Amino acid sequence: MVEHQLRGRGIRDPRVLEAMQKVPRHRFLPNPEDPAAYGDHPLPLGCGQTISQPYMVALMTECLRLTGEERVLEIGTGSGYQAAVLAELAREVYTVERFPELASQARSALEELGYGNVHVVVGDGSEGYAEAAPYDRIIVTAAAPEIAPPWVEQLEEGGRLVLPLGDRWGQTLVVVRKQEGKMAQESVCGCVFVPLVGKHGWRGE
């Protein structure tokens, strides 16, 4: 997976590659025996959610430019796999999931694997998680129609926000940097994620 799907497609950060090598992706799936666990595609989790393809997990993580000292907020815990990768690379991770069932499963997997620096919270990810703010980095793993104001407020000056921005059917992965209170945005590539549902997302999913 790492050699062909990641390194072969341009992922260069050695720490990201090492983390992707280390985290057992199959442990975060409903069926750990699934032969497609390390395939180059997303997989269903239940509740209409998916675990992103390994390449997209690595790309978004690389875009965060983590050094090991950051506090990271993840919007959309899903399986907990992305949070585990972040936990290998950052000091502390807070991750918000709107489905209690998925949050519980992710929490169990993360605890079993010893990721004590990850805190799983049930809530509306579009509102961020003010209780532990501010954050050095924020990553959003669902398609957002806008950059939610709470994310901007909860991001440290100089921080980075990585998210898929667009409509329900197609998005652009963007990196947003907070500079002097303003948000500077750059595009990375096209992508397709499940929609973000919440106060600053879409309703009624």
Decide if 73 contacts 154 (C-beta within 8 A). Answer: yes
The yes-or-no answer on residue 52 being catalytic is yes
Parallel/antiparallel/unpaired status of strands 92-97 and 43-46: unpaired
Decide if 51 contacts 78 (C-beta within 8 A). Answer: yes
Q: In whole angstroms, what is the distance from residue 179 CA to residue 157 CA?
A: 6
For helices 81-89 and 54-64, give the axis angle rounded to 10 degrees: 40
Catalytic residue from among 52, 104, 126, 187: 52
> How many CA within 13 A on the CB side of residue 202?
14
For helices 14-22 and 81-89, give the axis angle rounded to 10 degrees: 130
Q: Where in the sequence numbering do the catalytic residues fall?
A: 52
